[in-house]
Each structure stands twice: as C-alpha cells, then as structure tokens.
Amino acid sequence: MLNRYIVRFLCVASAAIMLTSCGDSKATGTGEFATVFATANALVSVLDSDVATWTDATTGAKAAACGANSVATITQDNMVLNVTSSAYSVPNTGSSSPTVPSALSISNVTLTFTPADSNTPALPARFQTQFTSASPSVITVGLNPITLEIVTDEMKSFLGSALECTGALYTYRVGVSFDVVEQSTNKSGTISLPANGYLLIHMADFGDK
C-alpha cells in the first residue's frame, strides 16, 4: 500500500502548472453564450483515489488489508469544480442596452481518462469515456461549486485485482467538459478546464487512516 501524502507532494506542483490557463480570459475551455461566458477550474488538481478500505468481515471494524478475515469496501470519489459565469458588459454586446444575464443548465458532463505514464494501462472503452452527474445542474451568475462523481465504484472494482494490496499505483489524466444550454436563449456551448488542462487521478490501495 502507498502513502498518499508522499504521492501528493511529488505530483501536485506539476499538476497545478498543467491546470493553469494561458492567454486572456477567453482561452480554450471557456463557454461563450448570448448573455454570459463561463469558465471551470478544479479546486484540487490531484485526487488520490483509494480502491479499497478494509474491514473485519465479522465485526465491521477496521482491519488489516488483505487479511484472512478482511473484506474490501469500495466507495465512489467525488470532486468539486468551480464554474464561474460572468455577464457580458455593454461593450461586449455591441449594444448600448445592458444584457440580462441568463442561468445555464448542465445537460451532460463528460470525463475522458488516459494513462499519464508508461506504468499505467489504458482502460477499456467503457471507462475511457464516461458520463457523470453534476450537482447542482444549474449555473447562475457568479461562482458555482459543482460536485461531480469522478471515480465510480465500478471502475475501482475493475482495477481492484491489479491494485489491492500490491503497492501498484496507476495515474490517469482526466479531462472534464460540461455540455451547457443557456436557459433564456437555448444557445448551447461547452465549458471545460483551461487550455491543455486536466485532473490527475492516482489510483492505488492507499493505507487506511
């Protein structure tokens, strides 16, 4: 099993750089609509995803990993992304009349998983591209914390045989994109992480606290 704090220390700096957008505020990843534009940023750029926590099959108390009477419990991982919606000002619209900013509705969230290093295997097609839920699903003007289910228990179960009690670590780059519709105009658009941005997901059987 791995110490998640050592892994986080080694990787967080490079991941933070990769999540930094270049250029102006309309860089790739910004969703542009009729009354607003919107951007997305991750609160945490690196996620340690524990494929199993271990409990005693009889008592339910914490137990040693892979012991004779130990059972693995698998729980999905969620992450929070901030989606910021900003109203266009009068000069941006080409009109002397102010624009009433509209709320946005998230219709779909797409996650794409690709290996980040040569030690990490490519996932089967059903896990390479995943569609997840967003809560809440409505974006208003200002900063909106959006919770996403980022690693499913099905994916953890699939990787369990390779990662549980083996000391192995897999790292995936995860792209995130929101398909969004502007409520007042029905104009659709896509919001994603900044240019060339993605999350890093470390998957391992981390030591239980």
* pLDDT digits 0-9 by tens, 70-123: 888 899 999 999 999 999 876 655 665 667 899 999 999 999 999 999 999 999
Asked if the model's pLDDT at residue 4 lies above 80, the reply is: no
Contacts for 5 with CB less than 8 Å, ≥ 6 apart? none
Q: First-to-last CA distance in the chain?
A: 12
In 10 A of CB 155, how many CB atoms? Answer: 24
For residues 112 and 198, what is the distance between their CA atoms, to the nearest angstrom?
Answer: 9
For residues 58 and 56, what is the distance between their CA atoms, to the nearest angstrom?
Answer: 5
Regarding predicted confidence, which is higher, 149 or 12?
Answer: 149
202 in Cβ contact with 47 (< 8 Å)? yes
Residues listed for the chain: 209
Across 5-32, average pLDDT = 48
Domain ranges within the chain, ordered by starting residue: 4-204
